[in-house]
Amino acid sequence: MSEASFVRLPLETVVARYDRGARWYRAAEVSILFPHALRRKALARLELEPGDRVLEIGCGTGRNLPMLCDAVGESGEVIGVDVSRGMLARAQRWVTRHQRENVRLLCEDAAELALPDRVDAVLFSLSYSVLPDRARVLERAWEALAPNGRLAIMDAGLPAGPLGGLLAPFADAIATVFPGDPYSRPWEDLTRLSQSVRSEWFRLGLYFICTIRKPASSQGTPLSVVSD
Protein backbone atom coordinates (compact mmCIF):
# COMPACT_ATOMS: atom_id res chain seq x y z
CA MET A 1 0.00 0.00 0.00
CA SER A 2 1.17 3.54 -0.75
CA GLU A 3 0.28 6.92 0.68
CA ALA A 4 -1.88 7.67 -2.36
CA SER A 5 -3.85 4.43 -1.98
CA PHE A 6 -4.30 4.57 1.81
CA VAL A 7 -7.96 4.84 2.78
CA ARG A 8 -9.07 6.10 6.16
CA LEU A 9 -11.70 3.88 7.73
CA PRO A 10 -15.07 5.29 8.82
CA LEU A 11 -15.48 6.02 12.52
CA GLU A 12 -17.84 3.09 13.10
CA THR A 13 -15.24 0.64 11.79
CA VAL A 14 -12.48 2.16 13.91
CA VAL A 15 -14.64 1.96 17.05
CA ALA A 16 -15.60 -1.67 16.39
CA ARG A 17 -11.98 -2.73 15.97
CA TYR A 18 -10.86 -0.99 19.16
CA ASP A 19 -13.79 -2.41 21.12
CA ARG A 20 -12.77 -5.91 20.02
CA GLY A 21 -9.06 -5.34 20.55
CA ALA A 22 -9.17 -3.54 23.91
CA ARG A 23 -7.98 -6.57 25.84
CA TRP A 24 -5.00 -7.01 23.50
CA TYR A 25 -3.89 -3.37 23.42
CA ARG A 26 -0.81 -3.83 25.58
CA ALA A 27 0.29 -6.80 23.50
CA ALA A 28 -0.11 -4.66 20.38
CA GLU A 29 2.34 -2.13 21.82
CA VAL A 30 4.90 -4.89 22.18
CA SER A 31 4.34 -5.97 18.59
CA ILE A 32 5.24 -2.50 17.26
CA LEU A 33 8.30 -2.25 19.53
CA PHE A 34 6.86 0.82 21.22
CA PRO A 35 9.41 2.55 23.49
CA HIS A 36 7.50 3.24 26.71
CA ALA A 37 9.87 6.04 27.68
CA LEU A 38 8.23 8.00 24.88
CA ARG A 39 5.12 8.45 27.01
CA ARG A 40 7.10 10.30 29.65
CA LYS A 41 8.83 12.40 27.01
CA ALA A 42 5.47 13.43 25.56
CA LEU A 43 4.10 14.31 28.97
CA ALA A 44 7.22 16.31 29.77
CA ARG A 45 6.60 18.44 26.67
CA LEU A 46 3.24 19.48 28.16
CA GLU A 47 5.03 21.14 31.10
CA LEU A 48 2.19 20.21 33.44
CA GLU A 49 2.03 21.72 36.91
CA PRO A 50 -0.11 20.96 39.97
CA GLY A 51 -3.57 22.41 39.49
CA ASP A 52 -3.50 22.21 35.67
CA ARG A 53 -6.37 20.80 33.61
CA VAL A 54 -5.22 18.39 30.90
CA LEU A 55 -7.21 16.77 28.10
CA GLU A 56 -6.15 13.49 26.49
CA ILE A 57 -7.85 12.78 23.18
CA GLY A 58 -7.96 9.07 22.47
CA CYS A 59 -7.08 8.05 26.03
CA GLY A 60 -7.81 4.39 25.27
CA THR A 61 -7.29 2.01 28.17
CA GLY A 62 -5.79 4.77 30.30
CA ARG A 63 -2.10 4.01 29.88
CA ASN A 64 -1.19 7.66 30.51
CA LEU A 65 -3.63 8.32 33.35
CA PRO A 66 -1.22 7.53 36.23
CA MET A 67 1.42 9.93 34.92
CA LEU A 68 -1.10 12.64 34.07
CA CYS A 69 -2.64 12.42 37.54
CA ASP A 70 0.76 12.61 39.19
CA ALA A 71 1.65 15.67 37.11
CA VAL A 72 -1.47 17.74 37.87
CA GLY A 73 -1.92 16.55 41.44
CA GLU A 74 -5.13 16.35 43.41
CA SER A 75 -5.90 20.01 42.69
CA GLY A 76 -5.78 19.46 38.93
CA GLU A 77 -8.07 17.62 36.55
CA VAL A 78 -7.54 14.96 33.90
CA ILE A 79 -10.13 14.61 31.13
CA GLY A 80 -9.94 11.53 28.94
CA VAL A 81 -11.93 11.27 25.72
CA ASP A 82 -12.37 8.16 23.63
CA VAL A 83 -15.08 6.89 21.32
CA SER A 84 -14.47 3.20 22.15
CA ARG A 85 -16.50 1.98 25.11
CA GLY A 86 -14.36 -1.15 25.30
CA MET A 87 -11.18 0.87 25.75
CA LEU A 88 -12.78 3.30 28.20
CA ALA A 89 -14.12 0.46 30.35
CA ARG A 90 -10.54 -0.57 31.07
CA ALA A 91 -9.53 3.01 31.82
CA GLN A 92 -12.45 3.32 34.23
CA ARG A 93 -11.26 0.24 36.11
CA TRP A 94 -8.02 2.02 36.92
CA VAL A 95 -9.85 5.20 37.96
CA THR A 96 -12.17 3.24 40.26
CA ARG A 97 -9.41 1.09 41.72
CA HIS A 98 -7.30 4.11 42.62
CA GLN A 99 -10.25 6.31 43.61
CA ARG A 100 -9.22 9.19 41.37
CA GLU A 101 -11.97 11.74 41.79
CA ASN A 102 -10.23 14.30 39.57
CA VAL A 103 -10.40 12.11 36.44
CA ARG A 104 -13.32 12.52 34.03
CA LEU A 105 -13.76 10.02 31.20
CA LEU A 106 -15.97 10.94 28.26
CA CYS A 107 -17.19 8.47 25.65
CA GLU A 108 -17.76 10.63 22.60
CA ASP A 109 -16.43 11.57 19.20
CA ALA A 110 -13.61 14.08 19.71
CA ALA A 111 -14.68 15.79 16.48
CA GLU A 112 -17.80 16.93 18.34
CA LEU A 113 -16.08 17.74 21.62
CA ALA A 114 -17.20 20.94 23.36
CA LEU A 115 -15.82 21.47 26.87
CA PRO A 116 -17.39 24.14 29.10
CA ASP A 117 -13.97 25.30 30.33
CA ARG A 118 -10.59 25.53 28.65
CA VAL A 119 -7.68 23.27 29.49
CA ASP A 120 -3.99 23.98 30.03
CA ALA A 121 -2.73 21.12 27.89
CA VAL A 122 -3.89 18.61 25.27
CA LEU A 123 -2.29 15.22 24.58
CA PHE A 124 -2.67 12.86 21.63
CA SER A 125 -0.88 9.61 22.46
CA LEU A 126 -0.85 7.04 19.62
CA SER A 127 -4.29 8.34 18.69
CA TYR A 128 -3.87 11.13 16.14
CA SER A 129 -3.13 8.85 13.18
CA VAL A 130 -6.24 6.79 13.97
CA LEU A 131 -8.71 9.68 13.77
CA PRO A 132 -10.89 9.61 10.65
CA ASP A 133 -11.43 13.40 10.79
CA ARG A 134 -8.12 14.70 12.11
CA ALA A 135 -8.65 18.26 10.93
CA ARG A 136 -11.92 18.60 12.83
CA VAL A 137 -10.56 17.01 16.00
CA LEU A 138 -7.49 19.24 15.94
CA GLU A 139 -9.73 22.27 15.54
CA ARG A 140 -11.76 21.23 18.57
CA ALA A 141 -8.62 20.59 20.61
CA TRP A 142 -7.24 24.01 19.70
CA GLU A 143 -10.52 25.66 20.73
CA ALA A 144 -10.40 23.86 24.08
CA LEU A 145 -6.82 24.94 24.75
CA ALA A 146 -6.28 28.08 26.81
CA PRO A 147 -3.89 30.81 25.60
CA ASN A 148 -0.28 29.82 26.30
CA GLY A 149 -1.45 26.19 26.63
CA ARG A 150 0.57 23.27 25.24
CA LEU A 151 -0.47 20.55 22.79
CA ALA A 152 1.58 17.42 22.12
CA ILE A 153 1.11 14.64 19.56
CA MET A 154 3.07 11.45 20.15
CA ASP A 155 2.57 8.84 17.44
CA ALA A 156 4.15 6.39 15.02
CA GLY A 157 4.54 6.45 11.26
CA LEU A 158 6.61 5.23 8.37
CA PRO A 159 9.96 7.03 8.10
CA ALA A 160 11.06 8.58 4.85
CA GLY A 161 13.33 6.70 2.47
CA PRO A 162 13.97 2.99 1.87
CA LEU A 163 13.26 2.00 5.48
CA GLY A 164 9.70 3.26 5.16
CA GLY A 165 9.17 1.14 2.06
CA LEU A 166 10.48 -1.97 3.79
CA LEU A 167 8.22 -1.46 6.80
CA ALA A 168 5.06 -0.61 4.85
CA PRO A 169 3.73 -4.23 4.72
CA PHE A 170 4.21 -4.56 8.47
CA ALA A 171 2.38 -1.26 9.06
CA ASP A 172 -0.48 -2.46 6.86
CA ALA A 173 -0.75 -5.67 8.91
CA ILE A 174 -0.91 -3.75 12.21
CA ALA A 175 -3.59 -1.47 10.74
CA THR A 176 -5.90 -4.43 10.18
CA VAL A 177 -6.20 -4.80 13.97
CA PHE A 178 -5.61 -1.27 15.27
CA PRO A 179 -6.33 1.06 12.35
CA GLY A 180 -4.09 4.04 11.84
CA ASP A 181 -2.62 6.10 9.03
CA PRO A 182 1.16 5.50 8.87
CA TYR A 183 1.45 8.40 6.43
CA SER A 184 -0.01 11.08 8.71
CA ARG A 185 2.13 14.20 9.19
CA PRO A 186 0.86 16.04 12.26
CA TRP A 187 3.81 18.45 12.17
CA GLU A 188 2.38 19.81 8.92
CA ASP A 189 -1.17 19.93 10.31
CA LEU A 190 -0.01 21.89 13.35
CA THR A 191 1.62 24.61 11.27
CA ARG A 192 -1.86 25.65 10.16
CA LEU A 193 -2.50 26.67 13.76
CA SER A 194 0.83 28.26 14.60
CA GLN A 195 4.39 28.19 13.30
CA SER A 196 5.78 27.41 16.76
CA VAL A 197 5.97 23.65 16.14
CA ARG A 198 8.72 21.50 17.63
CA SER A 199 9.13 18.06 16.05
CA GLU A 200 11.31 15.26 17.41
CA TRP A 201 11.94 11.84 15.84
CA PHE A 202 12.98 8.64 17.63
CA ARG A 203 13.89 5.04 16.77
CA LEU A 204 15.07 5.69 13.20
CA GLY A 205 12.14 7.98 12.56
CA LEU A 206 9.45 5.43 13.46
CA TYR A 207 8.13 7.50 16.36
CA PHE A 208 7.77 11.21 16.84
CA ILE A 209 6.58 13.91 19.23
CA CYS A 210 5.20 17.17 17.87
CA THR A 211 4.64 20.00 20.32
CA ILE A 212 2.95 23.36 19.93
CA ARG A 213 2.16 26.21 22.29
CA LYS A 214 -0.94 28.30 21.78
CA PRO A 215 0.11 31.93 21.55
CA ALA A 216 -1.21 34.42 24.05
CA SER A 217 -1.83 36.52 20.94
CA SER A 218 -2.61 35.44 17.37
CA GLN A 219 1.01 35.73 16.25
CA GLY A 220 3.13 32.55 16.25
CA THR A 221 6.87 32.02 16.30
CA PRO A 222 9.24 30.38 13.75
CA LEU A 223 9.17 26.65 13.09
CA SER A 224 11.83 24.52 14.78
CA VAL A 225 12.73 20.90 14.07
CA VAL A 226 14.66 18.62 16.46
CA SER A 227 15.91 15.09 15.72
CA ASP A 228 17.02 12.37 18.10
pLDDT for residue 72 is more than 80? yes
- Continuous segment of H or E residues that includes residue 59: none
Q: Could you tell me where the DSSP H helices lie in 177-220?
A: 186-190
pTM: 0.82
Q: Where are the domains of the chain?
A: 11-225
Lowest mean pLDDT among 8-22, 110-124, 180-194: 8-22
pLDDT for residue 30 is more than 80? no
CA dist 159 and 188 (Å) reads 15
Burial (Cβ within 10 Å: 0-12, 13-18, ≥19) of residue 112: exposed
Architecture in CATH of 11-225:
3-Layer(aba) Sandwich (3.40)
